[in-house]
């Protein structure tokens, strides 16, 4: 096989691994009324003042998708929205105690599945994989900027 075929096969393999992983995690999180996307949003809003625009930019979702997800999380009492005191166009999103509890459960579930999936790899293999991922991500960001 040539280099491009090898790379193409690796990318396809990574894609299949990622989608199976995401499906398994989402399958476990659904019992808690969550998904990986909702978990990421809950995690993001624990970091400080967060608006729907911040979430949209971070997640790469459309405005409509963000509003739909936030509505569902608010309905399930995992977050609350609060009007900005300085800009009436902005509403900040805050995690509730129920949201924190669900996020802890989701992170535990996420970590158990990741640990099981990556357990066949040695520490050296994990380090190499991380270095490869970091290098590719840095190159991708630089290419987008150029």
The pLDDT tens digits of the residues spanning 25-78 come to: 999 999 888 999 999 999 999 988 899 999 999 999 999 999 999 999 999 999
Our CA angle for 5, 7, 10, nearest 5°, is 110
Q: Are 100 and 79 in contact (CB under 8 A)?
A: no
Tell me the per-residue pLDDT of 65-85, one tens digit each, with 9 for 90 and over.
Answer: 999 999 999 999 999 999 888
Helices (H), the chain: 3-29, 36-45, 52-59, 63-75, 97-118, 123-145
- Nearest residue to 73 (alpha-carbon basis) of 57, 95, 48, 88: 95
Name the CATH architecture for the domain at 3-110: Orthogonal Bundle (1.10)
């Amino acid at each position: 096989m040539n280099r491009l075929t090898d790379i193409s096969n690796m990318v396809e393999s990574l894609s299949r691994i990622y989608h199976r992983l995401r499906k398994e995690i989402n399958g476990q999180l659904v019992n808690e009324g969550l998904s990986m996307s909702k978990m990421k949003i809950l995690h993001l809003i624990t970091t400080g003042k967060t608006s729907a625009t911040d979430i949209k930019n971070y997640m790469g979702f459309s405005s409509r998708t963000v509003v739909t997800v936030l509505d569902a999380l608010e309905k399930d009492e995992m977050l609350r929205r609060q009007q900005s005191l300085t800009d009436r166009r902005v509403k900040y999103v805050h995690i509730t105690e129920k949201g924190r509890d669900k996020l802890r459960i989701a992170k535990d579930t996420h970590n158990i599945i990741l640990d099981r999936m990556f357990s066949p790899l040695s520490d050296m293999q994990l380090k190499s994989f991380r270095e490869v991922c970091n290098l590719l991500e840095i190159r991708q960001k630089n290419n987008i900027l150029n």
